[in-house]
Amino acid sequence: MFGMIRVGITFVCALMISVTLAVGTAAAKNWNTNSSDQNLNKSATFNPLNPKKRNAGDQVPVSSNLPLSDMMLAKDHPFISGRDATNNSRAYNNRTAFYETRWRENYDDFPFYEILCRVVFEADWVGLNNLEEIKSYLRDNRCTEANLKDDRYFLSDMIQSGVRVDIDGDGVRDLLVFLYGWQVKNPLRMVAFKFKWETKPESLDSPIERLFRPEEVFADAKYPKVQNARFVSTADFNEDGKVDIFFSDGGYDHKPFAIYPSKLFLSSNDGYVVEDLTIPLKIHGSAVGDFNSDGHFDIYLGKTISRIQDWNDRTDENPTLLMGDGRGSFHKANEFLSILAKSKSSEVQFSEFLDVDGDGYLDLIIGGQCGKQSYIFWNDGKGKYNNENKAIIPLDYVKWGNPKCGDFYNTITQVFMLNDEETNKVYFGTTSSKHYKGNRISLFELNGRNLGKNLEPFPDAEDAGFAYKMDYDGQLSGSRLGIFDFFFKKTIYKYDSSKRKFLKVGLDNRNHEFKFPRDKIMAKK
C-alpha cells in the first residue's frame, strides 16, 4: 500500500522536475570559475565514528606573540585525528566540514546576554537604527532580558550563530558572532570577541575578554554585513592550513524580504578576506564536504530564491553544487547531482555531506519540507549521485488526504550518526520539526545502505522549539546530544542502548547565567 503511494509521489515529482528544469538554470551565474588541475591522490579516509576529543580541562590560556600569519591556524584542533589541515600529507579525501563545523559552532560557552549587551553598548558599527530605544530597554533590564518587540524588531533574533576560531593566535579559540536583523536598508554587521579561556563546565565567569577591532579580524578592516547566517560551515577552502568560513545567506524572512550574497571568509596574512560567493540569493540548507575526493572542499547550496516579494510571489531557483579548486574558487558542477538534489521542486531546506554507509565516500543528504521527502543519495565512489541510488529517510510524510504544511515531523533540522558501542550497531539520526515547530529525535538502524524503521521517535509535543543548533556534548558519536533553542539554552539527551532511544537528561541554562561586567559595559557611550 505505502509502496504504491510512494511510487505515485515520485512520479509526480518527476513530472514537476521535467517542467521546472527547463526554466531553473539561471541562478548560478556568478561563481568564480577558475578551475585547476584536479589532484587525485588517494589517502586514508576519515572515520567520523571514531573521533577523539582532548580533555577540555587540559586547555589553559596561553599568551604568545605569534606572528599574524599564524592566526586562525586549523591545527588547533588536535582531537580530530587524521584530519589536521596542516598535515603535510594533506589527507583531505572524503572530508566533510560537518564535524569540524560542529566543533567550531560550539555554543557551550556562548554568553547570550553579554553578547547582546556588548553588541548594543560597545559595538557601534553593528548598525542598529533604533539604538536608543534598545539601550534603554537593556538598561532597564540590566542586559538580562531579550524580549523587546516592536512591529519589526525582535532582540532574540539578533544573535544568530557563532564560530569559534583562534583569531589572534594565542591558542584560545575566539568567537565570531553572526547577527540577524533588518535595519533601515541594511543587515547588521558582525561582531567578534576575544576569549579568555575555553570550556570549563563548572564556571560561570564570562569567557569574553573584549571585542576585537575589525582590523584584527578582517583584511579590509571592516566587519562584514550579514543578514542570515543560519547555515555556517568551517573548512580550509584555500588550503593554507587556516580555517575559513562559509555561510549561505538566508535573507530576511519578513518584508521587505531583502536578499544578499552568500559569503566566504578566506584566511590571509592580513586576516579574513571576505568574498561574495554568489549573487544576492536567499539560500537555505547549505553543506560543505569533499564529495569527489579530490582533496578540495566543495559546497552544496539547497533551496534558492532569486526574487521574493512575498512567500507566494517569488522566483525559486534550483540547488547548486559548487566544486572547489583548493584555492578558494568554485565552479558549478550540477552534473554530479541526482535530479532530485538539483531540483527546486525538492524544497531542500536542509543538506549535509556525510558518509552514512561508511564506504569512505561522502553521501549527500537532502531534507525537504511540507511533505517533500528527504533522501540520502549514495556516493558511487566517483562523486556522482543519482535518483536510483538513494534511500528515503523514513520520516512521517503526507501519505493520504490533504494535510497542511507543518502537520508532520518531516522538516529535518539536524542529522547525526550514532555508533552504539554496547551493541556494535550504527544508526543514522535526525531531528525533525513540523515545519520548524516542535522537535523529534529519530533513529534509523543502518544495515549497509538500508535504513530501518524510525525507532521510538522522541519527544513529540514536549519541546516547543525546533533544534536550532546541536552539539554532541563532547561525544561526536552522537550518544549524547545537546539541542539548543533560539536563546541558546541547551537540552541534553542521552542514548540508552537497552531501550534504543534518547532520554532527556536535563537542561543547561549556563549561557544565560554567565557573570559579566554589566555596569562597565553599559557605562560606555
Q: Minimal distance in Å, beta carbon 235 to Ca ion?
A: 8
Member of 76, 100, 105, 363 binding Ca ion (CB under 5 A): 363
Give the chain's radius of gyration (CA, Å).
22
Q: Between residues 75 and 494, which has the closer beta carbon with respect to Ca ion? A: 75
Q: Between residues 172 and 208, which has the closer beta carbon with respect to Ca ion? A: 172
Q: Between residues 267 and 439, which has the closer beta carbon with respect to Ca ion? A: 267
Member of 166, 249, 420, 508 binding Ca ion (CB under 5 A): 166
Interaction of residue 236 with Ca ion, rule CB under 5 A: yes
Member of 156, 206, 238, 419 binding Ca ion (CB under 5 A): 238
Cα(472)–Cα(482) distance, rounded to whole angstroms? 6
CA angle 460, 464, 468 (to 5 degrees): 105
Cα(126)–Cα(179) distance, rounded to whole angstroms? 9
Q: Between residues 363 and 463, which has the closer beta carbon with respect to Ca ion? A: 363
Q: Which segments of 80-173 does DSSP mark as H helices, in order?
A: 97-104, 112-121, 131-140
Three-state DSSP class for residue 339: coil
Interaction of residue 357 with Ca ion, rule CB under 5 A: yes
Q: Minimal distance in Å, beta carbon 471 to Ca ion?
A: 20
Cα(394)–Cα(404) distance, rounded to whole angstroms? 19
Local structure of residue 311 (DSSP, 8 states): T
Q: Minimal distance in Å, beta carbon 50 to Ca ion?
A: 16
Interaction of residue 170 with Ca ion, rule CB under 5 A: yes
**Span interacting with Ca ion, options 115-123, 145-153, 172-180, 511-519, rule CB under 5 A:** 172-180
Member of 105, 157, 316, 355 binding Ca ion (CB under 5 A): 355
Interaction of residue 471 with Ca ion, rule CB under 5 A: no
Amino acid in the structure at residue 342? K
Member of 189, 296, 303, 489 binding Ca ion (CB under 5 A): 296
**Span interacting with Ca ion, options 131-139, 229-237, 433-441, 497-505, rule CB under 5 A:** 229-237
Interaction of residue 325 with Ca ion, rule CB under 5 A: no
- Cell numbers placing 23: 526554466
Q: Which of 245, 325, 292, 303 is nearest to 32 (CA)?
A: 325
- Tell me the C-alpha to C-alpha distance, in Å, between residue 166 and each of 125, 196, 367: 22, 11, 32
CA angle 344, 349, 352 (to 5 degrees): 105
Interaction of residue 104 with Ca ion, rule CB under 5 A: no
Q: Minimal distance in Å, beta carbon 383 to Ca ion?
A: 7
Q: Are 332 and 342 in contact (CB under 8 A)?
A: no
Q: Between residues 363 and 485, which has the closer beta carbon with respect to Ca ion? A: 363
- Cell numbers placing 136: 534603554
- Cell numbers placing 133: 530605544
Cα(494)–Cα(63) distance, rounded to whole angstroms? 37
Expressed in angstroms, the distance from the first to the final Cα of the chain is 68
Q: Between residues 117 and 167, which has the closer beta carbon with respect to Ca ion? A: 167
Q: Minimal distance in Å, beta carbon 113 to Ca ion?
A: 22
Member of 76, 294, 347, 463 binding Ca ion (CB under 5 A): 294
- Half-sphere exposure of residue 49: CA atoms within 13 angstroms, side-chain side: 17
**Span interacting with Ca ion, options 161-169, 178-186, 256-264, 482-490, rule CB under 5 A:** 161-169
Cα(238)–Cα(257) distance, rounded to whole angstroms? 32
Three-state DSSP class for residue 181: coil
**Span interacting with Ca ion, options 6-14, 244-252, 425-433, 447-455, rule CB under 5 A:** 244-252
Q: Minimal distance in Å, beta carbon 238 to Ca ion?
A: 4
Q: Minimal distance in Å, beta carbon 67 to Ca ion?
A: 14
Q: Cis check for the bond before 256: say yes or no (omega within 30 of 0).
A: yes
Q: Between residues 315 and 334, which has the closer beta carbon with respect to Ca ion? A: 334
Cα(150)–Cα(132) distance, rounded to whole angstroms? 14
Count residues near Ca ion (CB under 5 A): 22
Q: Between residues 114 and 363, which has the closer beta carbon with respect to Ca ion? A: 363
Chain positions contacting Ca ion, by CB under 5 A: 166, 168, 170, 172, 174, 236, 238, 240, 242, 244, 267, 290, 292, 294, 296, 298, 355, 357, 359, 361, 363, 379
